[in-house]
Amino acid sequence: MKANLVKILQAMGLQRVLLPEHKMRSLSRSKNVDNSIDSDSASMKTALSVVLDVDSSNEPEPSEAAYLSWLKEHPSALRSFERMMKAARGKRIVVFLDYDGTLSPIVNDPDRALMSDEMRAAVRGVAKYFPTAIISGRSREKVKEFVQLPNVYYAGSHGMDIMAPPNPVKNSDGKSPPVSLDKKGNEVLFQPAKKFLPAIRQIYAELEEKTRRIPGARLEDNRFCISVHFRQVKEEDVNILREMVRSVIAKYPDFHLTGGKKVIEIRPSIEWNKGNALEYLLETLGFKDSSDVLPLYIGDDRTDEDAFKAIERRGQGYPIIVSTVPKDTKALYSLSDPSEVLTFLSRLARWRRASSCSSRSSAQIWGLGD
């Protein structure tokens, strides 16, 4: 097969095109490429990459080779799109999205992690057709402020603070999911860590006092958890900062530390994570015991692994990791960066819209037929 491809490439005058591997990767995984690619052209690109690799005198960097090998285990959700949607026939897709590094780029100043208008339009498009939830480590209010979309479920503090949208997407039977309302007609919040709030406030005040001695250290109040960002802290100060945080938390046995991208997080020690939030939201949507629900979760960080594991436990669904480097993950599929997430979400909405033109397909999507 490789020999044939070499011949084809020679016929195309491409035999001397030897792109560095990272350029080939960005070419084949670029946001500009996917909108119309089908599986054939995707295979061709993969094959082309393989041939170029074989012919190239520049062997791929070890990290690049590792990435390509990892991609085989966690294939691109863009290239696998047709196959994924084929398997989704007769199932109900529910979309779960992380925020930082998934819908927005990772930036130095956490307050500037803004979502682009294009991404907002893409999420809006998806939420129009599928129940959609955003599960973030940030405070629910902050995520909502960034996303600014109605009809989306917001789960902040790693799922410890959940609120349903005013007008949730209807289920296949035309009914809205059962969401409890308070006396004012607002949705009831779900806050499993509420009793920890006084201690969290106390920890925050102590950390604020101590960490101000470390230039660049940045505290973020996520309501039910606290983030200590050290992206802008000098390397020699990072361990001092870690020790500071540890010494504060040592006095609070009900709390523990977790890590993320250049961030230390202080969380109450309860059995509640993004995976529990995913299960809770599915239950809220009326899918608790449903065997035909297909949760699709896109996230880039260690805390998203809990949600990937929850999908694994359910035995069906699409866990998708956002990463440009190989990572130990429970995700089945991958996307390289937020621009690929944007393409994927746009494609998902387009697929659903196109399917709805055919009542048969529409029935399939919502589990009304096969």
Residues binding Mg ion (CB under 5 A): 98, 100-101, 300-301
Q: How far is the CB of 103 from Mg ion (least distance, A)?
A: 9
Nearer to Mg ion, 154 or 366 (CB): 154
Known catalytic membership, residue 98: yes
Instruction: Please give the distance of CA 346 from its chain centroid, rounded to a whole number.
Output: 15
* 57, two tokens: 């005198």
Nearer to Mg ion, 53 or 98 (CB): 98
Cα–Cα distance measured from residue 313 to residue 292, given in angstroms and rounded to the nearest whole number: 14
Cα–Cα distance measured from residue 48 to residue 296, given in angstroms and rounded to the nearest whole number: 30
Instruction: Please report, for residues 146, 248, 272, 354, the alpha-carbon distance to residue 142 in angstroms, rounded to integers and kept in the order given.
Output: 6, 25, 20, 34
Q: How far is the CB of 299 from Mg ion (least distance, A)?
A: 6
Q: How far is the CB of 230 from Mg ion (least distance, A)?
A: 16
- Annotated catalytic residue: which of 34, 53, 98, 161? 98
Cα–Cα distance measured from residue 3 to residue 19, given in angstroms and rounded to the nearest whole number: 19
Instruction: Please report, for residues 26, 317, 323, 343, the alpha-carbon distance to residue 31 in angstroms, rounded to integers and kept in the order given.
Output: 9, 24, 14, 6
Nearer to Mg ion, 52 or 134 (CB): 134
Q: How far is the CB of 140 from Mg ion (least distance, A)?
A: 15
Nearer to Mg ion, 220 or 300 (CB): 300
Q: How far is the CB of 286 from Mg ion (least distance, A)?
A: 28
72 burial level (CB within 10 Å; 0-12, 13-18, 19+) = exposed
Of 186, 188, 191, nearest in space to 157 by CA: 191
Q: How far is the CB of 40 from Mg ion (least distance, A)?
A: 33
Alpha helices, H only, the chain: 2-11, 21-28, 31-34, 39-55, 62-73, 81-87, 117-129, 140-147, 197-211, 235-249, 274-284, 305-314, 338-356, 359-365
The helix (H) or strand (E) run that includes residue 298 is: strand 293-299
Nearer to Mg ion, 113 or 332 (CB): 113
- The residue type of 297 is Y
C-alpha torsion sign, points 340, 342, 345, 346? negative
Backbone angles phi, psi at 73, to 5 degrees: -80, -30
The residues assigned a catalytic role are: 98
